[in-house]
DNA sequence: ACCAATCGTCACGCGCCCTTGAAAAATGAA
DNA sequence: TTCATTTTTCAAGGGCGCGTGACGATTGGT
């Protein structure tokens, strides 16, 4: 993960600090601002790779801030995640033409926010390879070639997976041992507005297991899936 | 749990002081008000994370106070627990559209109130996550991996527990040495509106003991269970 | 246009937990 | 010791979550 700079903008200090702490722990460089005006200033200065923007703020609200970011040539393509207080507010905000790349309703768990951030970063900076090859017990997952190398009885096999299956496997293998819920996986692999049944994940997991074998992905009933350690 | 601010509103000074004392002991920051008018003032000032509101109060009753909190943009999403004098009063109050998040009939034990407060805080602020790994004497409980690591004779064992058992163990281990009643554990692990006999907890405790050993969970007759210190 | 590959959905069936009730055991008080 | 109360144990049932195969929609290639 090559040192992405993230700008957090929210007027609630508690929330800001909490998310900041977690993002730093996960290897991001974090900048913060308490309102839209500050945000524009910081954005121009540090040139972040992504902005998380609260809709409700004093001085300059999220919608207006997002528009101004878009108007400025330097920040026009900056990926923006908009946080709204109510889920129904999302449609209103979209209607006002803020033009954010993703919308999330508060309250949101950190895990969900991080999944969306990862997903958006991957979409926005495809040329920046976050760890091209994951090496795990008896298996290698090569993101550049969408290829899985597996050694079976001293013989190397190359397996090709379709895009969704590959990305799902990659998401699981990037956190070995950690159980991820279907919703988290949808957020991370499918990205923004997903109108997809969580059960879809099951089907993809099954197909992955069909090709690479049963024992890499473990089911945790009632919780989700995990990559075996 | 990082320093939540709670606003208590009740016109009985004795009760107020009792709850205040306990909440402070449990690590919360507490503000108090004796009537609705004061409550609104304090709420606007200190921005608490949660409000406990008595229905019957002079000057401005709980229902009206709650409505006004909802009308104000800054406090519209504030989690509110309403206390009523009689359990049958709950439906009346709900009917009046106060819009509280939870209702409890007085008299209420502090333990029950605290359990509800915790539960509501968890729902309202999911970005504040529970500790991922609980490290205790000779045992580690990893919520991210849904895994129990136990060291037996210098050898590390990894144990997988089913969901309910794992969460029950986690709930117990999160308060080592503290006895929790079956009802509290049901509230915390199963959720609030659940029609499950308290005996069910016993069975799960047995199964947990079967897999991780007898001496981690202690029985306190007539009270409940506790995780050994 | 046709075909192949991929993706999302649904419904059926199976199996694992969960729940429960009742009986046995343990505990504590008198 | 005796009795009442609480906990433990066990096995049966049933619910719920998951695996699975089939089908339709979509996409991309030829």
Strand C atom within 7 Å of A196 CB: yes
Confidence band for B219, pLDDT divided at 50, 70 and 90:
very high
Helix (H) or strand (E) holding B51: strand B50-54
What angle in degrees, to the nearest 10, is found between the helix axes of A62-71 and A36-46?
A: 30
C1' of D25 to CA of A196 (Å): 14
B187 has pLDDT over 70: yes
C1' of C29 to CA of A178 (Å): 51
Q: What mean pLDDT comes out for the span B21-43?
A: 96
The pLDDT of residue A187 is 93
User: In terms of C-beta distances under 8 Å and separation of at least 24 residues, what long-range contacts does B173-177 make, across chains too?
Assistant: B173/B134, B173/B136, B173/B139, B173/B141, B173/B216, B173/B227, B174/B130, B174/B131, B174/B134, B175/B226, B175/B227, B176/B136, B176/B226, B176/B227, B176/B228, B176/B229, B177/B226, B177/B227, B177/B228, B177/B229
Q: What mean pLDDT comes out for the span B30-51?
A: 96
The per-residue pLDDT for range A101-122, each reduced to its tens digit, is 999 998 899 999 999 999 999 8
Of A107, A113, A223, the CB nearest to B146: A223
Query: Which of chain B's residues have a Cβ under 8 Å away from the Cβ of A19?
Result: 127
The pLDDT of residue A129 is 61
CA-closest candidate to residue A114, choices A220, A22, A223:
A22
Q: What is the pLDDT along chain A (229 residues), one digit of tens a residue?
A: 568 999 999 998 888 999 999 999 999 999 999 999 999 999 999 999 999 999 988 889 999 999 999 999 999 999 999 999 877 777 777 778 778 899 999 889 999 999 999 999 988 887 766 667 899 988 999 988 889 999 888 888 899 999 999 999 999 999 999 999 999 999 999 987 778 999 999 999 999 999 999 999 999 999 999 999 9
Helix intervals (H) in B26-103: 36-46, 62-71, 89-95
The per-residue pLDDT for range B107-145, each reduced to its tens digit, is 888 888 988 899 899 999 998 888 999 999 889 999 999
Confidence band for B183, pLDDT divided at 50, 70 and 90:
very high
Distances (CA, A) of B224 to B3, B219, B220, B221: 28, 6, 5, 6
Instruction: Tell me if B184 sits within 8 A of B193, measured CB to CB.
Output: no
B197 has pLDDT over 70: yes
C1' of C25 to CA of B226 (Å): 21
A134: Cβ contacts below 8 Å, ≥ 6 apart: A140, A141, A143, A170, A173, A174
CA-closest candidate to residue B22, choices B115, B104, B121:
B115
Please give the model's pTM, rounded to 2 decimal places. 0.90
Task: Indicate the length of chain B as a whole number.
Answer: 229
The pLDDT of residue A2 is 66
Of B124, B129, B145, the CB nearest to A177: B145
d(CA B85, CA B94): 14
Query: Which of chain A's residues have a Cβ under 8 Å away from the Cβ of B4?
Result: none
The pLDDT of residue B1 is 55
């Amino acid at each position: 993960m090559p040192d992405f700079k993230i700008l957090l903008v929210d007027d609630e200090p508690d929330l800001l600090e909490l998310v900041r702490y977690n993002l730093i722990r996960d290897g991001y460089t974090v900048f913060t601002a308490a309102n839209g005006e500050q945000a524009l200033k910081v954005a121009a200065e540090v040139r972040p790779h992504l902005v998380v923007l609260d809709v409700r703020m004093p001085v300059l609200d999220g919608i207006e801030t997002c528009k101004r970011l878009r108007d400025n040539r330097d920040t026009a393509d900056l990926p923006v995640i908009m946080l709204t207080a109510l889920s129904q507010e999302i449609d209103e905000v979209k209607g006002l033409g803020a033009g954010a790349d993703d919308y999330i309703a508060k309250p949101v768990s950190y895990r969900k926010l991080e999944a969306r951030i990862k997903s958006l970063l991957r979409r926005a900076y495809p040329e920046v390879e976050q760890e091209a090859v994951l090496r795990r017990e008896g298996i290698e997952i090569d993101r550049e070639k969408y290829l899985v190398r597996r050694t079976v009885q001293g013989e190397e096999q190359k397996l090709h997976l379709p895009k969704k299956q590959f990305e799902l496997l990659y998401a699981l293998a990037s956190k070995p041992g950690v159980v991820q819920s279907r919703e988290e996986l949808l957020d991370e692999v499918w990205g923004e507005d997903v109108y997809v049944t969580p059960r879809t994940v099951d089907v993809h997991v099954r197909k992955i297991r069909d090709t690479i074998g049963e024992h890499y992905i473990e089911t945790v009933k009632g919780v989700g899936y995990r990559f075996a350690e």
